[in-house]
Amino acid sequence: MPHPLVSVIVPNYCHAPYLQERLDSILGQTFREFELILLDDCSTDDSRTVLESYKNHPQVSHIVFNETNSGSTFRQWALGFGLAQGKYIWIAESDDVAEPAFLKKCIAELESDPACTLAYTNSIAIDSDSVPLPGRLHNRKPFRKEGRRFVIEKMFTGNAIYNASMAVFRKSALANVTEDYAKYRYCGDWLFWSRIALGGRVAYLAEPLNRFRQHHVKVSPRAEAEGLQFIEGKEVIETLFRLTGVSSAFRRAVIGRWLQRLERFGDTARPELFRRVQSLWLADYPHPKRLHCWRQLYHLLPRPFRR
């Protein structure tokens, strides 16, 4: 395919049990104008065999097997971006699954609005056997927001694009992304999606067109146990403060909320880890009780003072 509209990047590491279902869900999309870029980060399981079984498919444009592990999902993303020929990019994580209409509906949102840099959908969590897990779906109403408003409303309490598979973005928006996101183990995608969003508008589809797999080898639970959501998250939040230019009242409220979360983290974290993470935050924000109060008062402020 010489000029695909979409580049689908599948960065894989040791997800052989899920790869066939993942790839078949991509190749089964009702939207057909895409190339498929398969990347393997030196997997130690049977991933290579599964990936090579797709090498002759006409929509597979590249299969790259790393000889050594890159040590970073985000390095694999960057490799895929360099190979991508499409106007839009979908990072389809190798253990997830997409509904057949996922690409069609996301691309329709992006094509209808040249200023829209990011479209994402609701998700259903599934287990290792692809059985849906119980839990309430979030954000049941679709929306379209200016990027700055989206970041202010959705990204200061955490990463609203919590799974790359749920999003498609405009490749030209990569011009807004600096390489600082790649230095993080856990929070890099939070900063990446925020920068993509700030380049234009964001469309959200409330339909659960993505299936986000949960299993015992996921990176997120291990990273959270190490406190990376607070260690790296502090830097991401402070970067977003600078990028959005929010008011001091808003900043205090956000920090107050995160300090409350940090207290709850202390209930389950190892004492030495909690003390280290707490000292990192209190070095810059030494009055947590005052900030907790700001968080409560923030919602009473007239709207112009909030942002």
Q: Average pLDDT of 255-263?
A: 90
Is residue 197 within 8 A of residue 147, CB to CB? The reply is yes
Query: Which residues on adjacent β-strands are paired with residue 132?
Result: 126
Bigger pLDDT: 137 vs 140? 140
**Residues 6 or more apart whose Cβ sits within 8 Å of residue 47:** 12, 13, 14, 15, 16, 19, 40
**Tokens linked to 149:** 């408003």
**For 294-304, what is each residue's pLDDT tens digit?**
777 666 655 55
**Residues 6 or more apart whose Cβ sits within 8 Å of residue 50:** 16, 19, 20, 23
Q: Average pLDDT of 204-209?
A: 96
Q: Average pLDDT of 226-255?
A: 94
pLDDT value at residue 299: 66
Whether the pLDDT of residue 288 is over 80: the answer is no
Query: Which residues on adjacent β-strands are paired with residue 8?
Result: 36, 90
Q: Give CA–CA dist 106/26, Å, rounded.
A: 14
Give the torsion sign (CA, 190, 192, 195, 199). Answer: negative
Whether the pLDDT of residue 107 is over 80: the answer is yes
**Tokens linked to 41:** 């980060």
What are the contacts of 138-141 at 24+ separation with CB within 8 A? 139/204, 139/206, 140/206, 141/206
Is residue 41 within 8 A of residue 12, CB to CB? The reply is yes
**For 153-197, what is each residue's pLDDT tens digit?**
999 999 999 999 999 999 999 999 999 999 999 999 999 999 999
**Tokens linked to 114:** 């040249």
Q: Average pLDDT of 60-68?
A: 97
Q: What DSSP string runs through 202-235?
A: EEEEEEEEEEEE--TT-HHHHHHHTTHHHHHHHH
Under the banding of pLDDT at 50, 70 and 90, the label for residue 3 is confident
Under the banding of pLDDT at 50, 70 and 90, the label for residue 306 is low
Is residue 98 within 8 A of residue 164, CB to CB? The reply is no
CA distances from 14 to 41, 49, 238 (A): 8, 12, 34
End-to-end CA distance of the chain: 46
**Residues 6 or more apart whose Cβ sits within 8 Å of residue 257:** 157, 295
**Tokens linked to 120:** 């994402």
**For 8-40, what is each residue's pLDDT tens digit?**
999 999 999 999 999 999 999 999 999 999 999
Whether the pLDDT of residue 249 is over 90: the answer is no
pLDDT value at residue 140: 79
Give the torsion through C-alpha atoms of 166, 168, 173, 179, to 10 deg.
40
Poorest-pLDDT segment among 102-106, 132-136, 148-152? 132-136
- 253, amino acid identity: A
Q: Give CA–CA dist 10/295, Å, rounded.
A: 40
Whether the pLDDT of residue 305 is over 60: the answer is no
Helix intervals (H) in 266-306: 271-284, 288-298, 303-306
- Its pTM stands at 0.93
